Homo-oligomer: A and B are copies of this chain.
Amino acid sequence: MATGRTHRPATRSRGIPEATVARLPLYLRALTALSERSVPTVSSEELAAAAGVNSAKLRKDFSYLGSYGTRGVGYDVEYLVYQISRELGLTQDWPVVIVGIGNLGAALANYGGFASRGFRVAALIDADPAMAGKPVAGIAVQHTDELEKIIHDNGVSIGVIATPAGAAQQVCDRLVSYGVTSILNFAPTVLSVPEGVDVRKVDLSIELQILAFHEQRKAGEEASSQDAAQPVAPPVRPAPAAGTEDGHDDSDRKGPDGDVPAVMPA
C-alpha cells in the first residue's frame, strides 16, 4: 500500500497525511453515489458507514481539507465532491499509458473506473509486434517504439505497467526517461526509480498470501493440531555451519515456478 520504493521522504505533502490521502478516493466514491441519488447532505456518521470507516477518522480527514461541514447538519454532498476531486487533482485530465496488453492490461484498458475519474487512456503499448494495431477496448495497441512520441505528444505523466516481471524494470526505466513521474506497477517486482518518481504497486499474489496467513490462523485456533498434510517442502535443516561446500544440485535454475510467467504478470 504504499509507495513501495523510496522510503517516505516527502510523505507529508501539504499538511495532508498520506493515510488520509489514501482514503479520499473512498469518500469520493461514497459521495458520488449519494450525489447520483440526489442526496443533498450527509452526516459524518452516515458517510463513514458508507465508506466503511470510523466517523471520527472521517471528520479528522476532512478537517485537513478545511472546514467544509455545517455543525448540526453535516456536509453538502456536491460541494464535498468538488473539494475532494480538486484536492486529488481529478478536476484535470490525466492521460495514462498502459504498457503490457495481456489479460491484465486488457482488463485495465476496459476498466470503466478510469474515465469516470478524470483518467484517460492515451495509449496501449505492447512489445509484441503481433499486437500492434489490434484494437483493445476501442483503442489500437501500439508498439513499444512509439512510447517516447506518445508520452511527449500527450504529456503523459502516469504510466501503468502490466508486463511480466522480467520486463517491468526495463519498461519502468524507459517510462521514467521519457518523463513519466508516477507509476502503477502490477508486475511482481521491486522497481528502482530515481528520486521524485512515485511508484505504487498492486500485487495479486501478495494479497492472497496475506489472506492465507489469516485463514491459517483462524483454522489453527479451532483445531490446534494439524490436519492437512504438508504437500510442500519438508522442514529443511537450519544450516549447522561447518565446512561449507556448496555444491550439489544446480539443475533447478529457471525451472519450476520461476517469477517469469509465461502468461501474464506473475
Q: Which A residues have a C-beta under 8 Å from some C-beta of B?
A: 1-2, 4-5, 7, 13-14, 21-22, 24-26, 28-30, 32-33, 36-38, 40-41, 50-52, 54, 68, 70, 73, 76, 78-79, 81-82, 85, 87-94, 96, 102-104, 106-108, 110-119, 157-158, 160, 181-184, 188, 190, 196, 198, 200, 202-219, 228-233, 235-239, 241, 244, 246, 249-250, 252-259, 261-266
Contact indicator A213/B103 (Cβ below 8 Å): no
Contact with A206, one of B25, B190, B204, B264 (Cβ below 8 angstroms): B25
With a cutoff of 8 Å between Cβ atoms, the chain B residues found around residue A78 in the complex are 236, 254
Please, how many angstroms separate the alpha-carbon atoms of A228 and B95 in the complex?
Answer: 13
Contact with A211, one of B51, B200, B257 (Cβ below 8 angstroms): B200
With a cutoff of 8 Å between Cβ atoms, the chain B residues found around residue A209 in the complex are 24-25, 28, 88, 90, 117
Please, how many angstroms separate the alpha-carbon atoms of A186 and B214 in the complex?
Answer: 19
Shortest distance from the beta carbon of A84 to any chain B beta carbon, whole Å? 10
With a cutoff of 8 Å between Cβ atoms, the chain B residues found around residue A14 in the complex are 217
Shortest distance from the beta carbon of A158 to any chain B beta carbon, whole Å? 6
